[in-house]
Amino acid sequence: MAVTKEAPKKAPSLKDLSYKQDLFAGGHRLCAGCGIPPIVRQTLLASDYPVVVVTATGCLEVGTSIFPYTSWRVPWIHCAFENAASTASGIESMYRALKKKGKIDQEIRFIAFGGDGGTYDIGIQALSGALERGHRFLYICYNNEGYMNTGIQRSSATPLGADTTTSPVGEVIPGKREFRKNLTAIVAAHDIPYVAQSATIPARIMDLVTKVRKALDADGPSFINVLSSCDRGWRHDPADTIKITQLAVDTCYWPLYEVENGKWKLNYKPKEKKPVIEWLATQGRFKHLLKPENADIVRRLQEKIDRDWEFLLKRCAE
C-alpha cells in the first residue's frame, strides 16, 4: 500500500507526489517510449487511498507480470481480455459486503486498466454492465489505438487511414476505412458520476492526476480514457512519445475534457488549433496519407475533427 513521508492535505503538487512511494516499479518489459508506464505511475501516485488493481490481458499485463517478476506494489489481479470491469465489480461487491459485516473498516478504492482492444471492443459489454449497475470503481483505458500486444491489428479506436496489420495499406485499401468510435461519449451516456479524457503532456502535466483523484472520490463508477502512444504501432522515435501526444491534443484530435455529474467541462484549449496533418506526419502508420492521391482521407479526417471540436465546445459552453 501507499507509503508517504507526509500525506498531502490538499490536491497534490508535483513536489507532494515526489514524496510518495512509487507503486509501479521500474524494470518492467514495456517498450522504451511506451505511453503506458507514465499513465499507471501517475494514476497510482494520485490516490490517497489503498487501491486494488485489476488488469486485463494486454501490453500492461504482459509487460509487468512475467513470472516470477512483478512491477506492482499494490494488490493486483490479472483477468481475461474481456472482463476487467466484471472482475472489478466482483471485488467491489465483496468489499462492500465485508464492510457491512464489520470485517473491513478501511476505505479502499478499485482501479481497472484495459487497453482499447479490451475496452472499446472485447470488453465493452462487461464495462457497460458494470457502469449500469453502479459499482464504485475507476476504469482507465490506456488507448494506443490498436491491438498492439497481439500484432498491431486495428481496433474500433484506430483512426481513419491508419496502416495496421488488419487494415494494411495497399492496392485495395489505403489503411483503415472507418472513423474511430467515440467511446468517451458512449460512457458518458451511461450517466455515471465522472467521465474524462486525458493524456500525459507537458502543457497539462497534472491533468491525469487531478482527474484520477476526482474519479476515486466519485460516488459511483468513473471512467478515464487516456491517449497512450505506442511507438511500435504508431512507428515513431521512442523519444518523441510525449511530443506526439501533445500534438494530438493541440490539433484537437484528442481533446482534454471531463463530464462531472452530467456537466461537460473543457480542460485545455490550444492557443492555436494546429492542422491534423502535423500530427499525422510524425508517425509511420500515416506516411501514405502524405501522398497527393490520399489527400481526400486527410481532408475527411480534418473535417471530422473540426465537427467534433465545435460540438464539444458547445457541450462545454465554451
Q: Using 50, 70 and 90 to split pLDDT, how confident is the model at 12?
A: confident
Q: Using 50, 70 and 90 to split pLDDT, how confident is the model at 11?
A: confident
Q: Give the separation between CA 195 and CA 139, rounded to whole angstroms.
A: 10
Q: Using 50, 70 and 90 to split pLDDT, how confident is the model at 6?
A: very low
Q: Give the separation between CA 51 and CA 49, rounded to whole angstroms.
A: 6
The three three-digit cell numbers of residue 199, written as one number: 493524456
Position 9 scores a pLDDT of 53
Position 7 scores a pLDDT of 47
Position 3 scores a pLDDT of 42
Task: Identify the DSSP state of 289.
Answer: G
Decide if 127 contacts 137 (C-beta within 8 A): no
The three three-digit cell numbers of residue 26, written as one number: 521500474
Average pLDDT taken over every residue of the chain: 95
pLDDT at 4 over 80: no
Average confidence (pLDDT) over 294-315: 98
| CATH number assigned to the domain with residue range 21-315, chosen from the 4 options 3.40.50.970, 3.30.499.10, 3.40.50.1700, 2.60.40.1220 | 3.40.50.970
Task: Identify the CA nearest to 283 among candidates 236, 230, 232, 229.
Answer: 236
Domain spans in the chain, listed from the N-terminal domain onward: 21-315
pLDDT at 10 over 80: no
pLDDT at 251 over 80: yes
Position 253 scores a pLDDT of 98
pLDDT at 5 over 90: no
Decide if 109 contacts 138 (C-beta within 8 A): yes
Which pTM does this prediction carry? 0.96
Neighbours of 283 (CB within 10 A): 21
pLDDT at 2 over 50: no
pLDDT at 201 over 70: yes
Average confidence (pLDDT) over 127-139: 98
User: Over the stretch 84-122, which tens digit does the pLDDT of each residue have?
Assistant: 999 999 999 999 999 999 999 999 999 999 999 999 999
Average confidence (pLDDT) over 124-131: 98
User: Over the stretch 153-185, which tens digit does the pLDDT of each residue have?
Assistant: 999 999 999 999 999 999 999 999 999 999 999
DSSP of 177-224: -SPPP-HHHHHHTT--SEEEEEE--GGGTTHHHHHHHHHHHSSS-EEE
Decide if 269 contacts 234 (C-beta within 8 A): no
The three three-digit cell numbers of residue 211, written as one number: 482527474
Phi then psi for 272, rounded to 5 degrees?
-130, 115
Task: Identify the DSSP state of 35.
Answer: S
User: Over the stretch 36-85, which tens digit does the pLDDT of each residue have?
Assistant: 999 999 999 999 999 999 999 999 999 999 999 999 999 999 999 999 99
Q: Give the separation between CA 215 and CA 238, rounded to whole angstroms.
A: 30
How many residues are listed for the chain in this entry? 318
- Residues sharing a CB contact under 8 Å with residue 65, sequence separation 6 or more, in sequence order: 55, 71, 72, 76, 78
